[in-house]
Amino acid sequence: MEFHFDDDDLIWNISNEKPVHSRFDSLLKNQWEIAAEAGVCRYRLTNLQTKILPGKYGFVAQLNSDRATQRRLPQNLQKVNSPFDGTLFNFNKVPAQEVLLKPGNKVAAAAATSGKIKDNEATDAVVIINVSPLEFGNSLLVPNVTANIPQRITQEGLDLLVRLMLLSTDVDLKAGFNSPGGYASVNHQHYHLYYLRERLYLETAAVEPIAGPCFALTDFPSKGFAFQLTDNDPALLAKNVFTLVSYLCANEIAHNLFVTRGKRFGGTLAADDVYDTLRVFVWAREPAFGVKEEIGFNPALCELAGHLLIKEPPAYQVVTEKEAAQLLDSITAPWFERVGAQIAHLFAFAT
């Protein structure tokens, strides 16, 4: 289904309570439910067993054994900059019933209709249902499906992801990215979208300035970098995040990214307050190349953000904040220190 929007549709502040759904939320949720009811997923995502782990960070643990056993075998990627291979599974090969939305700019759509847009100016963005969903609404944004871009973040793709997040009025909507070596399973550029009812510590976590627009996420086990929307400028946010991500790619450093609505850095949150920014977190991390599976959970974008996808009932029963925090710290802290030494140089001229 075509979904056209422009900057006038973007929503800058939202309630941290349950809001009325935006046009984007209503369409995405409706299309996702239609596809799920039609049986396109590998399993039915019924009410997941969910609990908040005792402790400071309120980790959200969910048991999803079906995803662990029934999802497509991840591709055997051996480096961050793995080239696209059209002989392997990619999103050009998904059937039409898995495509939920085709988001695009209203002006570009009008130009295409009138024949005033050149072929090389067109993008082919799609939102595809994840047939092995991790949560309700779990979909994959592929910013330019026919361009066959391998699984790496581009500034254009990140810009589109940020704008889609800003089309939502639902505080539950989350987004993220796994690089090769960061538990990416398909080497074709895509970003995850999903809805999570539980609140995450990262939505209001304190950060410390490093240089320019880049902050340090220090009060959290996953040591990483934080950015926020400023001046209602999604393009600037995408540019700032891409400055760091492009450095990680150039240096073959595995990474994960997580996006959520949240409180402006340094702000306070009253019970009746609003979420007044978009927060983006980037983690450089210990690489996990090849088809590698951890016993309890794979520390990818969700887990690094405090949303733990547990594979088996025994692990779900015994998981604790202390053990999870130790794992998250161990795979991020050394890389945070290594990359952190470069931040001042990367953002020397940023304002």
Give dist(CA 100, CA 193) in Å, integer. Answer: 12
| Strand, helix or coil for residue 159 | helix
Contacts of 250 (CB under 8 A, 6+ apart): none
Quote the pLDDT of residue 117: 45
- E strands, the chain, where? 2-5, 14-15, 49-52, 60-63, 99-105, 126-129, 139-142, 173-178, 191-195, 208-211, 214-217, 224-228, 255-262, 274-275, 277-284, 307-310
Answer whether 276's CB lies under 8 Å from 287's CB. Answer: no
Active centre residues (catalytic): 190
pLDDT averaged per 10 residues in sequence order, the chain, 351 residues: 94 84 96 96 89 98 85 84 95 97 77 49 83 96 97 97 97 97 96 97 97 96 98 97 98 98 84 86 92 74 97 94 96 98 91 53
Quote the pLDDT of residue 296: 81
Give dist(CA 248, CA 271) in Å, integer. Answer: 38
Contacts of 209 (CB under 8 A, 6+ apart): 215, 216
Quote the pLDDT of residue 112: 53
Quote the pLDDT of residue 294: 60
Q: Residues 321, 184, 172, 218: what is their CA dihedral angle, to the nearest 10 degrees? A: 50
Q: Is 221 exposed, middle or buried (0-12, 13-18, 19+ CB in 10 A)?
A: buried
Give dist(CA 151, CA 139) in Å, integer. Answer: 16
Determine whether domain 2-347 maps to CATH 3.20.20.150. no
> What is the β-pairing status of strands 255-262 and 173-178?
antiparallel
| Strand, helix or coil for residue 278 | strand
Closest CA to 150 of 95, 90, 98: 90
Question: Which amino acid is present at 200?
Answer: L
The model's pTM is 0.94
Q: Residue ranges of the domains in the chain?
A: 2-347
Quote the pLDDT of residue 244: 98
Quote the pLDDT of residue 184: 95
Quote the pLDDT of residue 351: 53
Give dist(CA 283, CA 328) in Å, integer. Answer: 10
